Amino acid sequence: MLFRSLLWSEEFNGKKGTLPNSKIWSYDLGGLNQNGELQYYTKSPQNISLNGSGQLVITANRIADQSQMAISADPAIEKMLNACNGCQFSSSRIKTAGKLSFQYGRMEIRMKSASGEGSWPAFWMLGTDLLKGIPWPDAGEIDIFEGKGAMPNTVFGTIHGPGFSPGGGLGSIYENPNPLNAAYHTIAIEWKKNQ
């Protein structure tokens, strides 16, 4: 008989408008543009906060039009646009790097995915060797869920590692009968040694 034990969970319980637990989560900040993103990442509650009902909400807000003109005279927006050539949105990106890591087991998320042209929601794991200076993809990556807003019914799951070019990897595509933003879905992987 196979016994399973829960090693960790994050239920995002907390007051509405508060940030995720800083003992577990940290932020990627600024205009990273690693995958052609058009957003400036913040840790502002306008972009990331708990909703008071056990859910984390990540919101993208338009800060500029396609010609890079700010949509308001807000000095914070002007500061983001000056720091990020090409940004049109503010959003958020969190990580557990240096705070929490796993090797093997079942990892799952229950989420409602964003949709719409330009959105790229994802839940993934990067190898801890990345923190030691080993470059991607050699440090490894497991995309548990990767979506593309223009393909609202599609889930991509991909493994990247040594020998895979940046555009390559091993994986699968799952087509859901309904758009992923229509309801909450549980998406998981089972990670075993060599499997």
* Burial annotation 128-162 (CB, 10 A radius, 16+ → b, else e): eebeeeeebbebbbbbbbbbbbeebbbbbbbbbbe
Active site residue 10: no
Which listed residue (10, 37, 78, 141) is catalytic?
A: 141
146 is catalytic: yes
CB 82 within 8 A of CB 68: no
Contact 40, 30 (CB under 8 A): yes
Tokens of 190: 């089972």
Question: Do the Cβ atoms of 146 and 120 come closer than 8 Å?
Answer: yes
**Burial class of residue 169, CB neighbours in 10 A (0-12, 13-18, 19+):** middle
Distance, C-alpha 100 to centroid of its chain: 16
Q: 37, 78, 108, 146: which is the annotated catalytic residue? A: 146
Q: Catalytic residues, which ones?
A: 141, 146
